[in-house]
Amino acid sequence: MLQHNSVQSPEPDAPAKEGLAGRLRRGLFKRLDQRRLFRTSAFRLALIYAMVFSTLSAATLGFIYWSTRDQIELQVDARLRLETDYLINLYKSGAMPELLEAIQRRNQIDTYGRFYYLANSDMAEKSKEKSTDAVLPLKLKSVRSHTTRNMGDVADLPPGSPRAFNPVRVAETQLSDGLKLTIGHEISDEQALLDHTFTLVVGATGLTLLFSLIGGLWIGTSVLRRIDSVSRTASEIMSGDLSQRLRVTARDDEFDEISTKLNQMLNRIEDLMKSMQQVTNNVAHDLRSPLTRLRNRLEVTLLEERDPDVYRVVMDEAIGDADSLIHTFNAMLSIARLEAGIDSAQWKPTRMGDLAGELAELYEAVAEEEGQLTFRSDINSNPTFQCNRHLIGQALTNLLDNAIKYTPKGGQVRLRLEGNSEAFSITVSDNGPGIAEAERERVFERFVRLENERNSPGNGLGLSLVKAVIRLHSAKMTIGDSDPGNPTNPGLKISIHFTRKAAAEKHAKDLALSETRA
């Protein structure tokens, strides 16, 4: 006997289940997105704006509707008043046959849907009951009233007449002898116009509310889309990708302004992270050599007994290496303090011409002793500048040291100052080998030394300190060749441009930041 085992395969039902699950997830996400949309401030503000605008629109259109209705009633009442006055004048003149004839003629013509009616009032019946020969009572003043009624209430119409419920504006005048004059004017056309106006008012209000809500949904969705874009970029940055930036559109709205500021902040953070990584690499590379040299020197010295003088020499060399390391770390600390704005409280008015003159006097002698160089100074003004005098002097000292260090014998180093207290510039130039244009920005980074300078004394922090001082004072720096036409020694010219306004604003911000930290 053969047995057939039936195995139920799940494959046919899997797509259906998966499709159902996918639809459920999409529906859930859609509801969540809608809830997020309803929670956004933009949607709430748009909803409030829609309600306020719709209310004001409804009030305005309602005022127009009721003003139109009142104006129509006033016009109809004015026409009824003219007809009433004409008939009352006939009545007062005693021409009763003419009055009745006029009423009959007007009813036959039915001008403008009007009808006329003259009858005895209750007051006239009571007067007849007392006496027909009695002296007439004192004449009463004519009393008028205007009301709106249905045609069937005031006119004798055939049963089932379609005009029974047409609106009629009625003017009733109580005459002096008990007669009552009634004039009616059918206002079906006017009422149709009012009904149409009311429909337009309601429709316009509804459309205003509808489009306002649609606009609120669109604005809320747009804002939510921008926020989601910022959130995604922030998540990618938090995951370690510092190269991501917020999207900036061509609309140049407030979101683009915030995105631009945040992108600038991210650029600064990325630069700091790269600088930190580079500093770490350079510290490991540049400090390893003196530490290794120090350790090897001490280790070799301890391998065998030596004279005390030898030990003294080794110890002096070790102290020199330690001093070099301390100098390097002090320079790093100074740069960190400058970038943090910690030294902002030490600013005071400084005569920059006097400071440049002191440095020129000092380095003129140094240039002659070190390399038989020619030192020139062109100090054309003596502006007063609010700054940290010590830091400005240290930055200029670093620039002059480098100029004397890399200028060959017989060369020339120049210090120049020009300008006034509002804006001035200090320039240090030489006619040495210069710096390649591709390397000019990189040499101002910490621990960066060109390949041909690796074996020369220094730690690669001098120009980094100059850059930090320039940034602290909101100055600008330009770098170029002092002798562009010389292919062998084009020289180097570094100009620092100071402005009083920019430095004062930066100083105020740094002081406020220092007070906040304190």
Residue limits of CATH 3.30.565.10 in the chain:
343-516
**The pair of three-digit structure tokens given for residue 14, joined into one six-digit string:** 């899997």
Backbone angles phi, psi at 513, to 5 degrees: -65, -40
Measured distance CA(215)–CA(203) in Å, rounded: 18
Between strands 143-150 and 476-480, the pairing is unpaired
- Tokens standing for residue 125: 């019946």
Residue 41, both tokens: 């401030």
Q: SS3 of 284, please? A: helix
3-state secondary structure of 118: strand
Rounded distance between C-alpha atoms, residue 173 and residue 182, angstroms: 6
Amino acid at 300: V
Cα 464 from Cα 450, distance rounded (Å): 14
Note the Cα 240 to chain centre separation in Å. 28
Tokens of 346: 């030490």
Asked if 314 contacts 300 with a C-beta cutoff of 8 angstroms, the reply is no
Could you tell me if 391 and 354 are in contact, meaning their C-beta atoms sit under 8 angstroms apart? no
Instruction: Tell the CATH topology of 343-516.
Output: Heat Shock Protein 90 (3.30.565)
CATH number of this structure's domain 245-341: 1.10.287.130
Per-residue pLDDT of the chain (518 residues; tens, 9 = 90+): 334 344 444 444 444 444 555 554 454 444 445 566 667 677 777 778 778 888 888 888 888 888 888 888 888 888 888 888 888 888 777 777 887 888 777 777 765 667 777 776 554 444 444 333 333 333 334 456 778 877 777 766 777 777 777 888 888 888 776 778 888 888 888 888 888 888 888 888 888 888 877 877 787 778 778 888 888 888 888 888 878 888 888 888 888 888 888 888 888 888 778 777 776 776 676 677 778 878 888 888 888 888 888 888 888 888 888 887 787 777 777 777 776 666 655 788 999 999 999 999 999 888 888 767 889 999 989 999 988 888 899 899 989 988 888 888 888 999 999 999 999 999 999 988 888 888 888 888 777 766 556 556 666 778 888 888 888 888 999 998 888 877 777 889 999 999 998 888 877 777 776 666 55
Instruction: Please state, in angstroms and rounded to a whole number, the distance separating the CA atoms of residues 453 and 466.
Output: 19
Q: Which residues of 314-343 are buried (b: 16+ CB within 10 A; e: fewer)?
A: beeebeebeebeeebeebbebbeebeebbb
Q: Where in the chain is the domain with CATH 1.10.287.130?
A: 245-341
Closest C-alpha to 504, from 469, 465, 474: 474
Q: In what order do the strands lie in the sheet with 167-174?
A: 114-120, 179-186, 167-174, 143-150
Q: Which pLDDT does position 497 carry in this prediction?
A: 94
